[in-house]
Amino acid sequence: MSTSSVVPPFAVISGAQVNGVLEGRQKEVVDIVEQAYRIHGEGATVNPPSYFLKFPDRPSSRIIALPASIGGEVQVDGLKWISSFPENVEAGIPRASAVLILNDHATGYPIACLESSIISAARTAASAALAAAKLAESRGERPRRVGFVGTGLIARYLHSYLAGTGWDFDAAGVYDLSAEYAAGFADYLERSGGAGEVTVHDSAQSLIAASDLVVFATIAGTPHVHDPAWFAHNPLVLHVSLRDLSPEVILAATNITDDVEHCLKADTSLHLTEQRLGHRDFVDGTLHDVLTGKVRPAADRPVIFSPFGLGVLDLAVGKHVLDSVRASGELAVVEDFFHELRRHG
């Protein structure tokens, strides 16, 4: 067999193609994410720490590299390269942009570059929706009142994944530092249906008090919610943005994460709590523990799910997109992408 015959082709998959595969298939994506969590929990992944590229002249911005490898039925390696530039929003373009590189499991050759802001948002929303369903099931009651702190793309995706996996609500609350963004998201919820009566709140405290399921999807870099009494009604909290809650709030709750090592880094709320205490005993378990029945959170205290976001989830969803686009016959292969294939020229 010649060398060139075993080198896989390289393809580029656009955001439009990614959206075409994932849109309206929330249940399927949640199943893919659940499978990835189970593979990870069984030790068949490699998920090193994320690397944060920060800029002295642009302190609010960053680009993050998430390398990973997943085995099981997925069998792919790769890297997500995702940027967060908050000032983009004022310029009228999204805060985050991303690409995902997939590498062939057998040869290590890159096989695809996918637009990944959609994949990243979908896997984040699917992870949170999966956790909400399993934690609510474990506690014996599904929340009927949802509240969103932060109203960007992730909040919209998370709502769509809750709705797409069978959730509906009697009431929905919205809070954002920007009244304009809050009003826009409230309008989105009303148009989407299934959210019940929609209320725009003037404070996070008011929203939390009115919600049984609280979603934090902000760009907060430091905790802004400090009072455990706000959670005295024991809501289920999807702490997707990771840095909103003070150690006092964390310590008054049952804490579930996707991966302990990853989430206790980068000044997340859990990391700040560990730094204060000198230990991590306050973390009660992982989502895999919940999936396997090892951990069953009680209903008599708040439950906070803090997902750092594993690169293996991006790989699993990205591989599904690649396989789907290939099966459709619309895979855009870059001919002769790999040129130097002979050892001696």
Domain map (residue ranges) of the chain: 3-119+311-333, 138-306
Domain topology for 138-306:
Rossmann fold (3.40.50)
Distance from chain centroid for Cα 60: 20
Locate 335 and state its tokens.
Answer: 């001919």
- pLDDT score recorded for residue 6: 84
- pLDDT score recorded for residue 3: 46
- pLDDT score recorded for residue 1: 41
pLDDT in tens, 170-210: 999 999 999 999 999 999 999 998 999 999 999 999 999 99
- pLDDT score recorded for residue 89: 87
CB 68 within 8 A of CB 310: yes
- pLDDT score recorded for residue 211: 98
- The DSSP bridge pattern shows strands 145-149 and 213-216 to be parallel
Residue 164: partners with Cβ closer than 8 Å, 6 or more residues away: 24, 26, 27, 129
Alpha-carbon span 270 to 280, nearest angstrom: 8
Alpha-carbon span 135 to 128, nearest angstrom: 10
Nearest Cα neighbor of 318 from 112, 97, 39, 38 is 112
Burial label, 230 (beta-carbon count in 10 A; 0-12, 13-18, 19+) = buried
| Element at 187 (helix H, strand E) | helix 179-192
Alpha-carbon span 95 to 263, nearest angstrom: 22
Alpha-carbon span 268 to 255, nearest angstrom: 13
CATH number of 3-119+311-333: 3.30.1780.10
- pLDDT score recorded for residue 200: 98
What is the three-class DSSP state of 58?
strand
Alpha-carbon span 243 to 231, nearest angstrom: 17
Name the pTM for this structure: 0.94
Sheet with 236-239, edge to edge strand ranges: 197-200, 171-175, 145-149, 213-216, 236-239, 303-306, 254-257, 283-286
- pLDDT score recorded for residue 2: 45
User: Measured at the alpha carbon of residue 222, what is the angle toward residues 314 and 86, in degrees to the nearest 5?
Assistant: 60
Residue type, 141: E
- pLDDT score recorded for residue 5: 55
Nearest Cα neighbor of 68 from 325, 338, 317, 322 is 317
Burial label, 344 (beta-carbon count in 10 A; 0-12, 13-18, 19+) = exposed
Which residues of the chain, if any, have pLDDT below 70? 1-5
